[in-house]
Structure formats: C-alpha cells, structure tokens
C-alpha cells in the first residue's frame, strides 16, 4: 500500500488517504472524513485507551457531527461513548442485534480484553445506541460533500458501507479481506463485493487490514468463491462442517493476516486469535454449508426487512 502518513504524536498508525480523509489503523481500523461543517467518523477503536488519542485528533479537525457503526459485532460498537458524536448512525438491522451492556462488558473481559484498561471501566461500561437508523440506503450531505450509506450484507446481514463520494473512498469494514463469515452469508457477500467493485473510488478502507485497491477486492471475491466451491464439494462427499475444517481449513486465518499489511497488528486483543481460530472456522463452514443447500436466490439478502435473524 502506498499512502502518505500524518503523524499523530509520531503515531505511524495514522494514515492520510487524501486532504480530508484519515484512517487510524488500530483494532478495528477507524475512519474520519473532515468537512467545512464538521466530521464524520466510521467505527472506532475497541480499546478505551486507544479511543482517547483518536478523539483528541478528531476534535482537532472539527466537531464530530456523525459517527457510523458499520456492523453489530462488539469490536465495532464500543467507541461511541468515548468519541461522543452528535448523531450515531447504523442500519436498522444492525441496531436490532447490537449488544446489551452486559454482552459488551463480557466481550471486553474475554476475547476483547486489553490488559492496560482499568477493569472498573469495563465493569461500568454502558453502550451507546444509534439515534438515526436507515433501511436500504441513506444519503447525507455535510460541508458540501456527499455521502451514501447503504446496507451491504455479507460479513453481517446489516453491514453498512460508507461511500464518501467526493473523497473517492469507501469504508467497507469487515467486507474486505476478513476471513470470518460469522453471522453473515457467503452468497450475499459475493453479491456485495461485485457491487463494491463498481464504485468509483480510489481506496477501500477495511476493518482489519490496511486500505485496499480494487484489484485487492477482486482477489478476495475470487478467494471467497473458490472456498464456497470447495465446501460444496466436501459437503457433497458427506463431510460435516467440523469434518471439513479437520480435513483442511477453509480459510487459513493466521496466514491471511500475516501476508497483508496491518499497521495496527499490535493492537489486536490478546485473546482474539485464540478465540478466532477453530470457532470462526467452523462457523464459516456452517454458513457455507447452509448456502450450498439452498438456491442463491433464497439468500437472506434477497429481500430486506427491518431486522434479519442473526446469531
């Protein structure tokens, strides 16, 4: 990846994609678009302590008018109480399945634990919930800049893409090279990736690796399709989801993470890789088996409702 870098107290995780677009390469990657009338933030750090310098940087650029939560998974929905946006946005589907306070605290105690965070902060953590939700698509304008938010099912069924039209950047969260289907649907994901490839942008900002180009997105779509074909073959041979994983991983998560640039690698929670190994592999295989047992037009993304069933 080739970008210019802007120091935040000498922090190499802060990437500048254009005059007004910044990415903080922590866990997960967090975005900021600056306009003449304030800022729009996309997701935010999972670590309470890492939220602090990010908020300071945002405040130096202007008031935080909007923050968008791209999905309901815990790592994406922790930061708003600390970043304090005027308006918090998500899709209706995402809002419907977000953590309770106690679910968020449990995530912060376990796979999302950061040893340098005061346990008292975790025990007193309270979720912030969206004050503006949308279904399908939401058009925004701020400071003369156009933004299109749209539902993009795949990694989750309520995932949001933030297309900063005039800055030529799409914030796609975990729809990028994130080898974990979890509560999503692979057929929906493939459809979404094809749509994302048609956007007129220079950068795709993903949730857990450095920003990618269009050719990177195409590589991920090809990998996902090949994996779905492999699962179809193994399912046809009578293998269960666990057997499929035992024979060989459907995604080699450590290898994929190791082979791509990730300036925030050191910010991954200590328990994440342990929790993400076999569990996410089996979930991914189960989702793929479900997909090959139905016609692609029966994918949960074929029709949108206010809340899609998720785990």
Average confidence score pLDDT of the chain: 89
Lowest average pLDDT, out of 96-105, 166-175, 187-196, 302-311, goes to 302-311
Would you say the pTM of this structure is higher than 0.85?
yes
Helix axes 278-292, 186-197, angle to 10 degrees: 90
pLDDT of residue 275: 65
Which two structure tokens, joined as six digits, stand for 273?
A: 């890789």
Mean pLDDT computed over 251-268: 77
Which is more confident, 298 or 53? 53
Q: Is the separation of the CB atoms in 66 and 155 below 8 Å? A: no
Does the structure show a pLDDT above 90 at 252? no
> Residue 309 burial by CB count (10 A; 0-12/13-18/19+): exposed, middle or buried?
exposed
User: 299 falls in which pLDDT band (50, 70, 90)?
Assistant: confident
139 closest CA partner among 186, 104, 197, 89: 89
Q: Is the pLDDT of residue 16 over 90?
A: yes
């Amino acid at each position: 990846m080739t970008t210019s870098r802007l120091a935040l107290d000498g922090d190499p995780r802060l990437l500048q994609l254009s005059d007004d677009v910044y990415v903080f390469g922590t866990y997960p990657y967090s975005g900021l678009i600056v306009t003449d009338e304030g800022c729009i933030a996309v997701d935010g750090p999972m670590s309470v302590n890492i939220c602090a310098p990010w908020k300071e940087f945002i405040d130096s650029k202007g008031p935080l008018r909007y923050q968008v939560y791209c999905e309901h998974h815990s790592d994406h929905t922790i930061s708003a109480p600390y970043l304090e946006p005027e308006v918090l946005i998500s899709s209706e589907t995402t809002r419907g399945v977000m953590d309770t306070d106690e679910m968020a605290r449990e995530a912060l105690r376990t796979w999302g634990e950061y040893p340098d965070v005061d346990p008292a902060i975790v025990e007193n953590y309270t979720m912030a919930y969206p004050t503006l939700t949308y279904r399908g698509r939401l058009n925004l304008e701020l400071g003369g800049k156009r933004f299109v938010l749209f539902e993009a099912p795949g990694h989750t069924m309520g995932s949001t893409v933030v297309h900063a039209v005039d800055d030529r950047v799409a914030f796609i969260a975990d729809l990028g090279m994130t080898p974990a289907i979890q509560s999503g649907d692979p057929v929906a994901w493939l459809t979404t990736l094809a749509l994302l490839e048609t956007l007129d942008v220079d950068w795709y900002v993903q949730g857990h690796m450095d920003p990618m180009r269009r050719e990177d997105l195409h590589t991920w779509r090809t990998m996902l399709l090949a994996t779905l074909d492999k699962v179809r073959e193994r399912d046809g041979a009578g293998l269960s989801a666990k057997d499929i994983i035992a024979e060989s991983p459907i995604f080699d998560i450590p290898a994929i993470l190791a082979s791509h640039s990730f300036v925030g690698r050191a910010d991954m929670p200590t328990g994440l890789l342990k929790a993400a190994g076999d569990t996410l592999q089996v979930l991914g295989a189960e989702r793929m088996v479900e997909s090959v047992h139905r016609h692609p037009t029966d994918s949960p993304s074929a029709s949108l409702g206010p809340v899609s069933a998720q785990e």
